[in-house]
Structure 1
Amino acid sequence: MMTRWGRDLDPDNPWPEHPRPQLVRDAWSTLNGWWDFAVRRSDEPAPASPEEYDGAIVVPFSPETALSRSGREGRPLQPDETLHYRRRVVVPQHVHRGDSRLLLHFGAVDQSCVVRVDGVEVGRHDGGFWPFTIDVSEAFVRGFGELTVSVTDPTDTGPGARGKQRLEPGEIWYPAQSGIWQTVWFEAVPAVHVTGVDFEPVVDSGDPDRTRVRVTVRSNASATAVVRVGESTVRVETGSPVDVPLPHARLWSPHDPFCYDVLVHLEDDKGRTVDEVRSYLGMRSIEVRPPAGEPGGVPTFWLNGRAQPMIGVLDQGYWPDGLLTPPSDDALVHDLETVRDLGFTMLRKHVKIEPLRFYHHCDRLGLLVWQDLVNGGGRYRSSVTQLPGIRPVRLRDRGPRMRAVFGRADADGREVFERDLARTVALLGSSPSVVVWVLFNEGWGQYDTRRLTGRLRALDPTRPIVPVSGWHDQGGDGPAEHGEVRSLHVYGKPVRVNARMARAERERGRALAIGEYGGLHLPVDGHRVDGEVFGYQAVEDADELAAELARLERDELGPARRAGVAASVYTQLTDVAGELNGLLTWDREVRKVERYPFARQ
């Protein structure tokens, strides 16, 4: 199945946009487009780069996808196979300069890879959802060379982050993919250069004069940074946070997603500019608390000191022709504008890290994002991940025996998850649209929730945390252990607020959320794949779907919100493979309802 954007794809120039709007320089060049590829058994005694390749592939689309044009659509890389890429590279003149360093960036490679230039290893990376960078200045000193990437991906047979990928997909589990799935690009930087800029808005709604943003400029060597935000400018040593005053700042919100332009440059000891980058930031605060003056009141979400409705939709981020990779930037924007047009104020990004342009568009469109951490671990047991959805079962997730029950017996796998947790916060922590972290979902690879909630809180004290969405909530002593949100999943039964639970969460100071519900499935002929059909409740046609959604809101979600539920997330935005409970078909051609029929708070 192809999308309209996939049909219009230029395979010679896919995804030409700058892949990192959060940190921009002019001297860059994409390496997307045609590469050679081959798949070989990992145990074969072969060189790092095969002598013969199987054919051509369009990067950044995984070989399992139609848009890759590899001929391997639907044939996932196996755990005992290695995927090899090769491209002969000539560095463009505007990037290859004698006084600069040459950086090679990968948006994401699923899951582990080794990168070589002319047969010599220049770097390696593990973790299929996070970008990484390699300094290849010496490797490309002549301005050209052969770039190869060797990739392995165990998918759900290994403990690494995989999200909803499975080698044998079905129901809520989706087709596996592998290899390069986000933009590959060159960037020229000075010898001393900015490596990142972190923003932490400090918004005091009671005293607008004190509004400021805490900025930390990171660099590869100590230097003096000059930071300009709007009309305010400060100087600071790199690596040290500095407060930039923004009195009476224009605050970011869904109604006014205003972002300040940011310019950062580094100076040498003579005051000369040696590097310059452009960025942006949104000024906003987000918290969970009862209404002012009601210490025992119902906790809810507050954005910039005002109550903020959190009425959202579950967004899986899968495409029929690109799987994890959207066909184009326009396709990505289409989904986000559709979320807004449907009337939702928020989306929950489900167990996936998107390309950075996704968060940039959410920032500029004013869409609130609940960001899941990406799940991993061993095989999941249905008694842990599915049974609690039918009858109340809550398991403890601490200790060796229970870690094994949750698929987390492997110590190295737990260490990888905690590494990736820190990576996620570092990558997305400056995005104003990301307002909530979701640590675990439905027991998928869950462990040590109380401790990890504290670790996440230490990494980012500014955002509310959902420690567990679905079931197996672990409670805890204070927000550093139990977070700020209790999230329930409700399928196959009415959405009802348990008065005892609501009272207990109110006493803890936690907001109550319906983190998933709905799942009404409506097949649309001509816009779905053949095979198994899955959903939580079938409807016959669009009229019945609209009527049932209206009934859900009138009889269940509306009363639940009035009883204290502060957030809700409908399952889901689009169909994915055989899971046909989307408000849109998988190819995005049919919107099953014109607007989600909720009553605004």
Structure 2
Amino acid sequence: MNKYLLIFSSLLLYSFNGHGQKTDWKIAEGKIITAWAEKVDPGKPLPEYPRPQMVRGEWKNLNGLWDYAVIPKAEAKPAAYGGKILVPYAIESALSGVAKTVGKDSSLWYKTTFTMPSSMQKKNVLLHFGAVDWEAEVFVNGIPVGKHQGGYDPFSFDITPALKKGTQVLEVRVWDPSDDGPQPRGKQVKRPHGIWYTPVTGIWQTVWLEGVPKAYIASTKQTPDIDQKTLRVAAAVANGQATDRIRITAWDGNQKIAEQEVAASSEAVLAIDNPKLWSPKTPFLYDIKVALVRNNKVLDEVKTYSAMRKISMVPDVNGVQRMLLNNEFVFQYGPLDQGWWPDGLYTAPTDEALLFDIVKTKEMGFNMIRKHVKVEPARWYRYTDSLGILVWQDMPSGDLGARWESRPGIVGLGRDMERTEESEKIYRTEWNEIMKDLYNFPSIIVWVPFNEAWGQFKTEEITKWTMEQDPSRLVNSASGGNFHAVGHIMDLHNYPEPSMPDPGIYGGKRIVVLGEFGGLGLPVENHTWQSKDNWGYQSFKNADDLFKRYASFIDRFPALIEKGLSAAVYTQTTDVEVETNGLMTYDRKVIKMPVERLKEIHQKLYDTRVKTVANR
């Protein structure tokens, strides 16, 4: 555990530079909470630097207690703000201090004030939002500075023209129709039940300011190629000039191992000699520095990182398609991870809490996580990169309505729903942004556009488009169905017992995986969302019986792997609201099965050898 604490400490990149206010804020009562909830400081909640893939030193955290008001959607602006809300926790959460729902007929307004650091006085100032669910309109000193739609992707505005001397006033209007709208919203519903959870409205990730020069690096893109032993790096420059240059350096600790300077509009190709390959066993990361150079003068510089790793599809000696990591077969096994918290809902109470689930997943002997119909803050992916956890990233679902057909081995069951033009545009825009924003995190190795036919439409077109957007990863087009002859993966959901699709389906051109199974439930008294009517796919009364049943499932996997199974996903990391089928309780205070025994029995999955045409 010490090495995980060291990683945690090393990733506290900069100290909080925010409000620091103290008030009478308290956690809203009524539900269970995690141990980290008591560590939340309303003067500086989530103080850590929020963007580990593009680090600058010039920043100011705006998290803290803001004013809020909920008014009818038709009204232009609140006449007055009626209370305090702790940003960045959604208004429905206990940690917001409010715990109220909003709904499609109302708007949520935020207001705060801040002063500019003296170091930003002569710079352009960017206002960043990690995520706001769902539509946000932002005003600085009464001036509209921008509008954004999308509950899962970060966005920013250059607010320099709106700034004045002295105190600045920031207001944000949010509208979120939850399941009354067609937008991506994952498991959120206005009437929570079963596998559907409490709505999340408003700001749910860090809000911060950043000072940049007039011309600055807006984004970077890193693409490794372990076969060619190269790392391609490109940068987008805002307000640049035609003669600007980009200087890229790669570092192994304190040792510079590669450097190249190219035109700002070009891509650098760094030679990485004797590359250290990233994997769950050896999650090595190279540090990267990207500098914007004009007339031999560095105007701007950001720090980022990358890894040398490859995910691919190759047949084994029997002709069955396999999922390879760095040209070797590695069976992938991990939990379905919803990423929900009893006190923060979408938002982990603290950064330590955010790290905890990943650490426990690793300690239990899993090497993969399927991030289920949710996108996490950037720091979550930084931890999966650092600890060596493979990630399958789902697109958050929305606009449900397709009929689900999931029988494997039967061709032609793919049934798509029809979405409106507006709904399709919303989906494409946000999925594109999610893939672009998460592209640089090496732990992500699979994209999942659809789950169990939830809002599934134009499957072949969307899958091919996803593959074109990112050829460096695999695409699991329809986890659990509806199935089409497209993408890299055929994904069965089967509860509770493990099973697998027919490797010969669609001519044997797909990797076969078990995208969900298990769901073994154990409600633990005093650690449930509600006192009764909790459920799992199969419920148990004690931990011993739960473990025996789980271990019996694991015993079946070596035979399935030999037949062609490349990966499996167990439901799930934690209990969530009325679901009690987690490996841990919702408050993370009880781990239901012994960690060391889990790690021991999981090892047999990785010991099962498969020969492929790439390594025979």
Pick one of 45, 53, 60 that aligns with 1:29. 60
Paired AA for residue 485 in structure 1:
I
Matched, 1:167 2:190: yes
Moved more, 296-305 or 103-112: 296-305
Residue aligning to 1:585: 585
Q: How is 1:46-445 mapped onto 2 (pairs within 5 angstroms)? A: 47-48=76-77, 50-70=78-98, 73=99, 75-94=100-119, 96-98=120-122, 100-204=123-227, 210-220=228-238, 221-222=240-241, 223-230=244-251, 231-268=257-294, 270-291=295-316, 294=317, 296-377=318-399, 379-380=400-401, 384-385=403-404, 388=406, 395-398=413-416, 402-403=417-418, 408=419, 410-445=420-455
CA contact (8 A) 2:411 2:505 kept: no
Q: 1:261-310: per-residue Cα shift (whole Å, max 9, x none)? A: 11111111x2111101111111111111124xx3x522222111221120
CA contact (8 A) 1:389 1:489 kept: no
Paired AA for residue 40 in structure 1:
I
Q: 1:21-67: per-residue Cα shift (whole Å, max 9, x none)? A: 100110001000010001011123xx43x231120011000111111
Secondary structure of the 1:121 match is strand
Residue aligning to 2:17: none
Residue aligning to 1:478: none
Paired AA for residue 515 in structure 2:
G
Paired AA for residue 397 in structure 1:
R
Q: 1:587 and 1:202 mapped to 2: Cα distance?
A: 41
Secondary structure of the 1:600 match is helix
CA contact (8 A) 2:395 2:450 kept: yes
Q: 2:276 and 2:529 mapped to 1: Cα distance?
A: 47
Secondary structure of the 1:67 match is coil
Q: 1:180 and 1:559 mapped to 2: Cα distance?
A: 47
Q: 2:509 and 2:104 mapped to 1: Cα distance?
A: 45
Secondary structure of the 1:229 match is strand
Q: 2:150 and 2:236 mapped to 1: Cα distance?
A: 23
Per-residue deviation, 1:199: 0.4
Per-residue deviation, 1:177: 1.3
Secondary structure of the 2:192 match is coil
Q: 1:38 and 1:496 mapped to 2: Cα distance?
A: 50
Secondary structure of the 1:134 match is strand
Paired AA for residue 281 in structure 1:
S
Residue aligning to 1:600: 605
Q: 1:545 and 1:371 mapped to 2: Cα distance?
A: 28
Residue aligning to 2:610: none
Per-residue deviation, 1:392: 8.2
> In the superposition, relative to structure 1, how do residues 393 and 517 fare at CA in structure 2: closer, same or farther (>3 Å)?
farther
Secondary structure of the 2:594 match is coil
CA contact (8 A) 1:30 1:186 kept: yes
CA contact (8 A) 2:498 2:518 kept: no
TM-score by length of structure 2 reads 0.88
CA contact (8 A) 2:247 2:261 kept: yes
Residue aligning to 1:516: 516
Q: 2:386 and 2:409 mapped to 1: Cα distance?
A: 42
Q: 1:65 and 1:584 mapped to 2: Cα distance?
A: 20
Give the CA RMSD over aligned residues: 1.7
Question: What is the aligned-residue identity percentage?
Answer: 37
Pick one of 468, 473, 476 that aligns with 1:466. 476
Q: 1:354-382: per-residue Cα shift (whole Å, max 9, x none)? A: 000000111111110000111111x436x
Residue aligning to 1:483: 487
CA contact (8 A) 2:557 2:605 kept: no
Per-residue deviation, 1:391: 13
Per-residue deviation, 1:238: 2.1
Paired AA for residue 232 in structure 1:
A
Per-residue deviation, 1:137: 0.7
Paired AA for residue 347 in structure 2:
T
Q: 2:412 and 2:526 mapped to 1: Cα distance?
A: 42
CA contact (8 A) 1:520 1:535 kept: yes
Q: 2:261 and 2:415 mapped to 1: Cα distance?
A: 47
Paired AA for residue 301 in structure 2:
E
Residue aligning to 1:207: none
Per-residue deviation, 1:553: 1.5
Q: How is 1:531-550 mapped onto 2 (pairs within 5 angstroms)? A: 531-550=532-551
Residue aligning to 1:42: 73
Q: 2:432 and 2:36 mapped to 1: Cα distance?
A: 34
Secondary structure of the 1:517 match is strand
Q: 1:181 and 1:52 mapped to 2: Cα distance?
A: 23
Q: 2:411 and 2:260 mapped to 1: Cα distance?
A: 54
Unaligned runs of 5+ in 2: 1-31, 252-256, 607-616
Q: 2:410 and 2:170 mapped to 1: Cα distance?
A: 53
Q: 1:243 and 1:508 mapped to 2: Cα distance?
A: 36
Residue aligning to 1:495: 498
Moved more, 299-308 or 463-472: 299-308
Q: 2:165 and 2:494 mapped to 1: Cα distance?
A: 60
Per-residue deviation, 1:97: 2.1
Q: 2:164 and 2:54 mapped to 1: Cα distance?
A: 25
Per-residue deviation, 1:600: 3.0
Per-residue deviation, 1:91: 1.5
Give the aligned length.
561
CA contact (8 A) 2:39 2:350 kept: no
Per-residue deviation, 1:143: 4.8
Q: 1:102 and 1:122 mapped to 2: Cα distance?
A: 12
Secondary structure of the 1:56 match is strand
Q: 1:371 and 1:144 mapped to 2: Cα distance?
A: 41
Secondary structure of the 1:302 match is strand
